[in-house]
Amino acid sequence: KAGVTQTPRYLIKTRGQQVTLSCSPISGHRSVSWYQQTPGQGLQFLFEYFSETQRNKGNFPGRFSGRQFSNSRSEMNVSTLELGDSALYLCASRSSGRIGTDTQYFGPGTRLTVL
C-alpha cells in the first residue's frame, strides 16, 4: 500500500500570499489530520477531517482552513501568509473514524518558507 503523499514537498511564498497544500491519505483511510511542525512550537494540531467534515480544530487563526473531498484527499489553505507560518506541514491519515482505533500514519510533509 502506498503511504501518505503530500504535494508539493517544498514551497516558497512571500508575505501576504496564500498557499494550498495537498494530502492523499493511504487508500481506504477516511480520516485526515493536519499538523504544523516548527522548531519553536514543535508539532501542533491544526484540524481533522472525516468523511468531508471537519471534526476537530486546533488553536490556529481563521487564516488556516482545510477541506476534504469525497475520495478522502484533503487540502489545507493558508491565506495572507505571515513569516511565522514558515514550517513543515504534516498530514496524517487514520484507518477508521471509530473510537478505539488509532494509528496515525504521517506523510513526509510540505516545507513552507515564507519570505
Partner 1 sequence: QQQVKQSPQSLIVQKGGISIINCAYENTAFDYFPWYQQFPGKGPALLIAIRPDVSEKKEGRFTISFNKSAKQFSLHIMDSQPGDSATYFCAARSPRQETSGSRLTFGEGTQLTVNP
Mapped onto helix, strand or coil, the DSSP state of residue 85 is helix
| 27-46 positions binding partner 1, by CB under 8 A | 31, 33, 35, 42-45
Q: How far is the CB of 18 from partner 1 (least distance, A)?
A: 24
The rounded distance, in Å, linking the Cα atoms of 22 and 32 is: 11
Query: Is 77 a binder of partner 1 (CB under 8 A)?
Result: no
Mapped onto helix, strand or coil, the DSSP state of residue 75 is strand
Positions touching partner 1 (CB under 8 A) are: 4, 31, 33, 35, 42-45, 48, 50, 55-56, 58, 90, 92, 97, 99-100, 102-109
